[in-house]
Amino acid sequence: MKKIVISLFAIALLASCSSKTDDIESKRQELQQYKQQQHELAQKIEALEKELSSAEEEEVVKVKVVELEENDFEHFIEVNGNVEAEYNVNVSPESVGVIETVFAKEGQHVSKGEVLAKLKTETLQRSIDQLKIQLALATTNYNRQKNLWDQNIGSEMQYLEAKTNMESLQKQIEGLESQIEMSEVRSPVDGVVDVVYQEKGDIGSPQTPFAKVVNISQLKIYADVSEAYLTKVHTGDQVKVFFPAIGKELETSIKQIGNVIDPNSRTFRIRLDINNPGKAIKPNLRAVIKIRDYVAEKAIVVPTLYVKEDFTGKYTYIAEDSGNNNIAKKVYVTTGVTNNNMTEVVSGLSAGMKIISEGYNQIANGSVIQY
């Protein structure tokens, strides 16, 4: 019985080895076929290129060229911002009362401290008048007690009581006069009355806005920038701001950079300050902010359309003098940053070369060209 088991195990082991050997041999044959196909394709490609080259030698292709120059190259990122007024204030009275007079009108220019409305103060004024009568009597009594006290006549207590009574009435009058001043609704800033919320006869209070005063001569813009650009954006950097709704563009600098990364959007906030002399820019207007995050001096920059790509890499065509005529030369390049349909070429091209700008779709490497 043991001999039978050993025999079966040996047969299985031989079958396994045979299977692995057959699999490896199959893969070798498959690889050989692919190499053969690759070799045949390479021969066909070479033959076609020769045919095209010989055919194009007979026919001169007309093209246009541009001589390459070194230029400064910049790359910008764009973020959306929101415009806010430097001063956008809801103005409320400091005390509670019925609005007696409204001086402000929507659209009216007001100065800081200008009275916009006034609450009724008749009750306060009557109280002041009564206290002034009492104050006059208290002042007379105090003066008499003081004269007696200066002559060492009378008691000190009578003198102090007269003085305290007079000063108490003075303080009460001052308090009521302050309340009358608080009944005047004044603008805290220079600006324009944008909205008047209340009318004559309404109840004014510190919790209820009476009007909104806006100053849009100075504006601020807030925008959120991806944390990926944290090391490329700095306070004081010049930026371009475009307002699509009004077709206006201006330049300013970054006033402030936020110190916190938003955990949800992974962004940080920047602030810009702008002047608005014509008042054309309004709060809550959308702004497109262009921030420069890359700059290269004396760079070779070509239109992105000129750069093609094949299995070997990215390339373009330049015009080269071969002695008897001009030919197109296929040059492989290494590209850098792309911005606004322009691409920086890091290597492969240099200043003075003539890149083919038109007709590059009708040529191949070695084609005879005319420009």
> In the block, which residue shows the tokens 């009318």?
199
The answer on pLDDT for 25 being more than 80 is no
pLDDT tens-digit readout, 113-140:
888 888 876 766 777 778 888 878 888 8
Model pLDDT, residue 315? 92
Instruction: State the pLDDT confidence band at 10, using cuts at 50, 70 and 90.
Output: very low
CA distance 39 to 303: 36
Q: Average pLDDT for residues 235-245, to the nearest whole number?
A: 93
Nearest CA among 196, 132, 216, 141 for reference residue 170: 132
Cα 357 → chain centroid:
36
CA distance 138 to 145: 10
Q: Cα-Cα-Cα-Cα dihedral of 96, 97, 99, 103, to 10°? A: -50
Q: Average pLDDT for residues 274-292, to the nearest whole number?
A: 90
Model pLDDT, residue 288? 95
Model pLDDT, residue 26? 79
pLDDT tens-digit readout, 89-119:
898 888 888 888 888 888 888 888 888 888 8
| 3-class secondary structure per residue, the chain | CHHHHHHHHHHHHHHHHHHHHHHHHHHHHHHHHHHHHHHHHHHHHHHHHHHHHHHHHHCCEECEEEECCEEEEEEEEEEEEEEEEEEEEEECCCCCEEEEEECCCCCCEECCCCEEEEECCHHHHHHHHHHHHHHHHHHHHHHHHHHHHHCCCCCHHHHHHHHHHHHHHHHHHHHHHHHHHHCEEECCCCEEEEEECCCCCCEEECCECCEEEEEEEEEEEEEEEEHHHCCCCCCCCEEEEEECCCCEEEEEEEEEECCCCCCCCCEEEEEEEEECCCCCCCCCCEEEEEEEEEEEEEEEEEEHHHCEECCCCEEEEEEEECCCCEEEEEEECEEEEEECCEEEEEECCCCCCEEEEECHHHCCCCCEEEC
> Where are the chain's structural domains?
55-74+297-370, 77-86+215-295, 93-120+183-209, 125-175
Q: Are 78 and 240 in contact (CB under 8 A)?
A: no
Model pLDDT, residue 21? 63
Q: How many residues does this entry show for the chain?
A: 371
CA distance 19 to 176: 109
Does 55-74+297-370 carry CATH code 3.90.960.10?
no
Model pLDDT, residue 113? 86
**Strands of 203-204's sheet, edge to edge?**
184-186, 115-119, 97-102, 203-204
pLDDT tens-digit readout, 316-364:
999 888 777 888 899 999 998 888 888 999 999 899 999 988 888 888 8
Q: What is the CATH number of domain 77-86+215-295?
A: 2.40.30.170
Model pLDDT, residue 20? 55
| Entry pTM | 0.59
pLDDT tens-digit readout, 160-219:
888 888 888 888 877 777 677 777 888 888 888 888 888 888 888 888 898 999 988 889
- Phi and psi at residue 165, in whole multiples of 5°? -65, -40
> In the block, which residue shows the tokens 């990122």?
77
pLDDT tens-digit readout, 55-90:
555 578 888 889 999 888 888 899 999 999 888 889
Q: What is the CATH number of domain 93-120+183-209?
A: 2.40.50.100
Greater pLDDT, 244 or 202? 244
> In the block, which residue shows the tokens 């949800």?
264
Model pLDDT, residue 18? 52
CA distance 221 to 120: 41
| Tokens found for residue 140 | 């007379």
Instruction: State the pLDDT confidence band at 287, using cuts at 50, 70 and 90.
Output: very high
| Tokens found for residue 315 | 């390339």
Model pLDDT, residue 32? 81
- Phi and psi at residue 231, in whole multiples of 5°? -85, -5
| Tokens found for residue 61 | 């292709």
